[in-house]
Amino acid sequence: MKVVRVFLLYLQGIRELNRLVHPRAIYSIKLGRKALPDKVVEAVWGFFSAYALVFVIIMIALLGTGLDNITAFSATAACLNNLGPGLGDVAAHYGDISDTAKWILTLAMVFGRLEIFTLLVLFTPTFWRG
């Protein structure tokens, strides 16, 4: 995830806390001196939700191949974020994991490189109707 997305999620969290204290107040999220439209914040939340869902699905798939929790979590995080090394069985290299796990992690790398939404669009019926 890009740092600006994490920062916008943080700002949204602060805005929601302020709304709890002052429910009738109108708060805007500003990046620099410019107020961002609510659509931008909604898009960041949508991306975060899709990211979390893909992360969990990939991690569960890796657990299904027999990897331990730490290896599955760190390998998913490393491949989905295009970071490189992980922990556990993938700390040195990915050569010792099963071929199925490698294919799953290859898919994770593609998801991470294409920013998740680009690949998820291929799974929607609207895309194929043209």
Residues 26, 95: Cα–Cα separation, whole Å: 54
Instruction: Tell me if 55 is assigned to some domain.
Output: yes
**pLDDT at 122 (0 to 100):** 79
- Residues 24-81 pLDDT 10s: 988 888 888 888 888 888 888 888 888 899 999 999 999 999 999 999 999 999 999 8
Asked if the structure places residue 6 within a domain, the reply is: no
pTM of the model as a whole: 0.77
**Over residues 100-126, mean pLDDT:** 85
Residue 7 in any domain: the answer is no
> Is residue 12 a part of any domain in this protein?
no
| Averaged pLDDT of the chain | 87
The overall longest dimension of the chain from CA atoms, in Å, is: 57
For 47-61, the pLDDT digits (tens) are 888 889 999 999 999
State the residue for tokens 């429910």.
23
SS (H, E, C) 110-129: HHHHCCCHHHHHHHCHHHHH
Total of domains in the chain: 1
